Structure formats: C-alpha cells, structure tokens
Chains A and B, each alone.
Chain A
Amino acid sequence: MADLVFWVLSGVAVASGVAVFSVDSMARATYALAASFVAVGLALLLFDLQFLGVITVLMMIMEMAIMAIYMIMFMGMNPALMPMSMVHDKRWAMAAAAGTFVVLAAGAVLVPWPDRAGDPADDLTAAVGEAIMGDKMLVMLTVSPVLFATIVAALVLALPSGRYARLGDHLGRRTAPARDPEGAGR
C-alpha cells in the first residue's frame, strides 16, 4: 500500500513538474508547480512526518496562490493574460535541467545508505529538527524574526502610499493628503 502511494505521488510530482514547462498559461504553470509540491508534501506523510508533510502542503499552496498574482502581473509583454511559452533559451535550459537531474538522481541511487541503527524516536518531527539544526537552533530562532522585521521595514519604507512617501521628512506632521484616498474619500 505504502509503495503504491509512493509511486502515485512521485508520478504526480514529476508529471506536474513537467507540466509547469509544457503548458501555455501562467495560471496553469503556477498551479502545476503547486500540485507538484503538494505531492511531495504528501509523500512526507509516508515517513510518519505528519506535521512536516501537512505544513509543506499549507506553505506551498499559500505561496503559489500569491505567486500566481505576481507571475501574471510581471511575466511577458501582455501581462500573461494570453497564452505564452513557459521556457526561454531552450537548449541551455534543457541541458542544465538534465544535468541537475542526473547528478541528484545519481547521488540518491549511488550513495551507500546506512542501515538503521536503533529505533526511531517517539516524536519524529522534533528529532528531525534536532538533527538538522542541532546547536544552531537558537540562532535560527533569532534569525527568523529579524528577517521578518527586515521585510516589513523594507515594505514600510518602499510603499508609495506609506507615510514616508506621503510625509517626507516631516513625520511629526499628523496628517497629509493621502495619495490614494480610501473609502468615502475616493
């Protein structure tokens, strides 16, 4: 049963990965990529990593739902509302993709995988976290809020309708005309 689920999910992941480059619509390409990631996330459930599997599905769908907006907004001359090709520079792209696949697949197949020593931990999610992060856990926990604060700060500074653009150097002023009035003032 687990074998069957694995092969079906792998098939879906690879097929929708191929679809990303062979469809002619930005919306289809984005959601094909989402489907590919979801299949990989569900495959994680086969390792009994329930939390990681479900959270991968959550993150990938959320990310692709937002990504679709940007892809359609910025890709191509005709903001991706018309059919368009998903590949550029076909020959080199093909070579790079095939080369990467061969290297990664060869690694997975040729590496001498160790036999299991000891029993799996009770809480596999915590064990994976420890194994990957180890003594860097504190650093990672600190870095993520700093990164997030940086993103928010950059947005606040860059936003055309934000207060820095509207008030200039006079942040002490209480009011200034809104560039893009909201609601009743519109």
Chain B
Amino acid sequence: MGHDTQVQAKSKKQYEYDRHHNAVHMRKQVINFAIMIFLTFLAFAVVVADFSAYFIKPVILLLAGVQVVLQLYSFMHMDDKKASHMGVISTFVWFGAVIAFTMFLTFLTIIWW
C-alpha cells in the first residue's frame, strides 16, 4: 500500500546518534540562515551606499544567486543525495533555470535591438 513502510525500533545508541545528527544538522541550518540574512543585508547596504550602478547591479545579482543556491541546497534539501529522485529533481530545476535565463535573454534583446 502507498502509505505502508517497514516499522523498526531503533536501538538506544542508534536513536541517540540520530537525534544528535538531527540537532547538528539544525545548527548548520541556522548558520545558513545567518549567511542568508548577511547576504540580504549586504545587498541592501550596497544599494544604500550609492556606488556606481554598473558596480552594484552585477554584485546584487551575484548575491541573489548565491542566496538562492544556498536556499535550494540547504533549506530545500537538494544537497540530500539519498532523497528519492534527487537526480530527476536537480535536472528539472537546472533546466528550469536555463529556460528562465533564455526567457530573460529573449525578452530583453527584443527590447534592446
């Protein structure tokens, strides 16, 4: 049945190990969150600091890219190679990104030239 699985009681050691592992993983997530907040803050700060637009635009786009990859691979667990169908998922996501980029290119070049 779709909702069935094997039920297995963990040994005390295994249980404690898994709990510890989950806690360590959660701490890593909080660090990732702190990095994302920092990147966001940096992006706003660069704009408020009023540098040349030719400098700011690539920098904040890069910061957004880094933050999105961090979000995908940590919060959305794309780093979890053991998750089911992760290969299919990564393929779809990155092809989605390629399609998105092509759309930007098409729309913007239609306007520019």
- Interaction A to B: no
